[in-house]
């Protein structure tokens, strides 16, 4: 069996690979995630996932390295992880009652070959009143999530619909990872 390395400290990404019954090592990478001037969201998540994968591959050149990076985009603006509860409230107020996009860049590196894919999912939040937003923000759940909410947790009550891959919104498209690994000659399922 090929050694797998997840180049991420995200508990959600670990949970997604665990759900497939895979054995893997976790190797979080510490990179600068600041967007370059004029960098579009899809280019950003591709670059960040690629950089994370390359850093991990340098430490584990024998492994299939899996990396991902997720952003929320509304009005062509990236909403990363909120810095504090005030910003979390502002994010949710902006997303309430409308659609936004969740983009995740996926990079898989193995045996000198690479697979890149950006997955785009549309998420529509239902209309939220100030009390709902404040109660969600007070839970603290959204503070370490792109866009300031977690679709797999309490934040599921904020979402009215999605068009695309649910797991992409959680933080990593399982289908994109499985397909990318298959193209690299590694069967994950």
Q: Does a structural domain hold residue 189?
A: no
User: pTM for the whole thing?
Assistant: 0.94
**Do the beta carbons of residue 117 and residue 180 sit within 8 Å?**
yes
**What's the pLDDT score for residue 132?**
97
pLDDT tens string 65-101: 999 999 999 999 999 899 999 999 999 999 999 999 9
Q: Which of 37, 69, 129, 179 is catalytic?
A: 69
Please report which confidence band the pLDDT of residue 22 belongs to, taking 50, 70 and 90 as the band edges. very high
**What's the pLDDT score for residue 127?**
98
Q: Does a structural domain hold residue 130?
A: yes
Distance CA 142, CA 186 (A): 34
Q: Which residues pair with 5 in a beta bridge?
A: 25, 65
Please report which confidence band the pLDDT of residue 185 belongs to, taking 50, 70 and 90 as the band edges. very high
**Do the beta carbons of residue 3 and residue 65 sit within 8 Å?**
no
**What's the pLDDT score for residue 112?**
96
In the predicted model, what is the mean pLDDT of the chain?
Answer: 96
Q: Does a structural domain hold residue 25?
A: yes
Tell me the residue range of the domain where 49 lies.
4-183
CATH at 18 = 3.90.950.10
Q: Does a structural domain hold residue 33?
A: yes
Contacts of 186 (CB under 8 A, 6+ apart): 2, 64, 110
Query: For the chain, what is the domain count?
Result: 1
Q: Does a structural domain hold residue 87?
A: yes
Q: Is 69 a catalytic residue?
A: yes
pLDDT tens string 133-158: 999 999 999 999 999 999 999 999 99
Distance CA 45, CA 106 (A): 8
Q: Does a structural domain hold residue 188?
A: no
CB atoms within 10 A of CB 52: 26
CB atoms within 10 A of CB 17: 20
Q: Does a structural domain hold residue 46?
A: yes
């Amino acid at each position: 069996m090929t050694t797998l390395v997840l180049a991420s400290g995200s508990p959600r990404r670990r949970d997604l690979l665990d759900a497939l019954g895979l054995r893997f090592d976790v190797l979080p990478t510490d990179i600068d995630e600041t967007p370059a001037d004029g960098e579009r969201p899809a280019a950003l998540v591709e670059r960040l996932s690629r950089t994370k994968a390359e850093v991990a591959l340098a430490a584990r050149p024998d492994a299939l390295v899996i990396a991902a990076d997720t952003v929320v985009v509304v009005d062509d603006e990236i909403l990363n992880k909120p810095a504090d509860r005030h910003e979390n409230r502002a994010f949710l107020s902006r997303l309430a009652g409308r659609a936004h996009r969740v983009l995740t860049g996926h990079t898989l590196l193995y045996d000198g070959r690479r697979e890149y894919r950006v997955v785009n999912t549309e998420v529509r939040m239902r209309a939220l009143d100030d009390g709902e937003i404040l109660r969600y923000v007070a839970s603290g759940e959204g503070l370490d999530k792109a866009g300031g909410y977690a679709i797999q947790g309490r934040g599921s009550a904020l979402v009215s619909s999605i068009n695309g891959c649910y797991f992409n919104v959680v933080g990593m498209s399982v289908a994109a990872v499985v397909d990318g690994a298959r193209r690299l000659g590694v069967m994950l399922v």
